[in-house]
Amino acid sequence: MFSRSTEQALAGWPPPVLDPAGPFASSITVLSWVLFAIGGVILGLVLAALWVALAGPERLRSRLGGTRVIWLAGIALPVVVLTALLIYGLTLTSMLRTPTQPSDIRVRVTGEMWWWRVAYLDQTGRVAMTDANEIHIPVGRTVTVELQSSDVIHSFWVPRLSGKIDMVPGRRNVLRMQADAPGVYAGQCAEYCGGAHALMGFMVVAHRPDDYARLMAGRRRPAPVAGGEAARGAQLFQSNGCGACHRVAGTAANGLAGPDLSHVGSRRTLGAGILPNNRGTMIGWIGDPQSLKPGNRMPAYSMLPGRDLTAIAAYLETLR
Ligand code: CUA
């Protein structure tokens, strides 16, 4: 079973909750601190009243039990404070719910047990490119993320870039996010969705605008034809039926049941954010995915000899 130390070896993991890297997450962080502060003040008042009730001077103690105190401190104060906080919170975070602007980057993310289907949309809402478990964005641009689910309720949460919202079957929710500095921002499913819920992570990678344009342009070109060991791996990928579940753009592999592998070689993690992506972990994943992430839908290919697993891993590395 996968260990906590492996998890923590991954960049940006665990995602810090009050360390915003963009305007949307900042508004959530400000709201959190305001709530903490007001909660602290009220806790102080309650403790002071408790002290008065237990050991305070008789003069104050008798007043504490008066009807007026109960009406004011017990009913009026909570109503006023909670209403003010509700209005403040809704105003502060209203930017997260504003409708998609024409200048927004659009990404559709679908929650799956237990990984993330990613589709980059063009301005008309058509799918321009597909991927999984990693979302690339340019810094300084607002990204509208359309969230849906294909099975149970999941929740999309990248604490440093935005708030958190559920992905509900049959419904499309929208969340806006933005990164102001290049970097890797960890995300996590935040709604219990079955056995491997805790192992349903992902990465948002923010690039400088020119790097982002270069990356996306490179991905639009067809995958280079693999040679040597990777070419043998490509044949094994086909003969073992991997393409029935996985898609690789520009090849016959067109399966939609599992994560899109068109760019898997450039991904930072495997198994939806749980393992660093390298030759060893790729071989381990293909050979015995159930021991790494129990219950996931990928069958084990432990019947393949080591050199075949190595060749398939070598092929997948070339998909960038
Ligand atoms: Cu998906 Cu929890």
What pLDDT, in 10s, does the model give residues 90-140?
A: 888 888 877 777 888 999 999 999 999 999 999 888 999 999 999 999 999
What is the spatial order of strands in the sheet that 173-177 belongs to? 127-132, 115-121, 105-112, 143-149, 173-177
Residues 240 and 182 in one domain: no
In a domain, 120, yes or no: yes
| Ligand 1 atom at shortest distance from the alpha carbon of 114 | 1
Tell me, in angstroms, the distance from the centre of ligand 1 to residue 90's CA.
26
| Ligand 1 atom at shortest distance from the alpha carbon of 152 | 1
Tell me, in angstroms, the distance from the centre of ligand 1 to residue 115's CA.
8
> 60: domain range?
23-96
- Identify the three-state secondary structure at position 31: helix
Number of separate domains in the chain: 3
What are the tens digits of pLDDT across the range 283-305?
A: 999 999 999 999 999 999 999 99
Which among 77, 96, 115 is the end of a domain? Answer: 96
| Ligand 1 atom at shortest distance from the alpha carbon of 192 | 2
In this structure, are residues 153 and 169 in contact, taking their beta carbons and an 8 Å threshold? yes
In a domain, 30, yes or no: yes
In a domain, 67, yes or no: yes
In a domain, 242, yes or no: yes
Q: Whose CA is nearest to atom 1 of ligand 1?
A: 154
Residues 232 and 277 in one domain: yes
Which among 213, 246, 262 is the end of a domain? Answer: 213
- Identify the three-state secondary structure at position 9: helix
| Mean pLDDT of the region 204-208 | 96
d(CA 136, CA 138): 7
At residue 30, does pLDDT exceed 70?
A: yes
Tell me, in angstroms, the distance from the centre of ligand 1 to residue 46's CA.
38
Residues 113 and 138 in one domain: yes
The pTM (predicted TM-score) of the whole model is 0.89
Residues 137 and 158 in one domain: yes
- The CATH number for 289's domain is 2.60.40.420
Residues 190 and 287 in one domain: no
Tell me, in angstroms, the distance from the centre of ligand 1 to residue 204's CA.
17
What's the token pair of residue 226? 């693999």
pLDDT of residue 11: 65
Tokens 């891993």 identify what position? Answer: 313
| Ligand 1 atom at shortest distance from the alpha carbon of 154 | 1
Residues 178 and 273 in one domain: no
In a domain, 301, yes or no: yes
- CA-wise closest residue to 104 among 43, 162, 167: 162
Tokens 């408790």 identify what position? Answer: 50
Strand pairing class (127-132; 154-157): unpaired
In a domain, 249, yes or no: yes
What is the band of 63 on the pLDDT scale with cuts at 50, 70, 90?
confident
Residues 160 and 110 in one domain: yes
Which among 50, 77, 96 is the end of a domain? Answer: 96
Per-residue 3-state assignment (H helix, E strand, C coil) for 266-289? HCCEECCCCEECCHHHHHHHHHCH
What are the tens digits of pLDDT across the range 230-241?
A: 999 999 999 999
In a domain, 277, yes or no: yes
Tell me, in angstroms, the distance from the centre of ligand 1 to residue 113's CA.
7
Residues 304 and 260 in one domain: yes
Tell me, in angstroms, the distance from the centre of ligand 1 to residue 279's CA.
27
At residue 196, does pLDDT exceed 80?
A: yes
Q: Which residues line ligand 1 (CB under 6 A)?
A: 111, 114, 154, 189, 191-193, 197, 200
What's the token pair of residue 28? 């959530």
In this structure, are residues 154 and 200 in contact, taking their beta carbons and an 8 Å threshold? yes
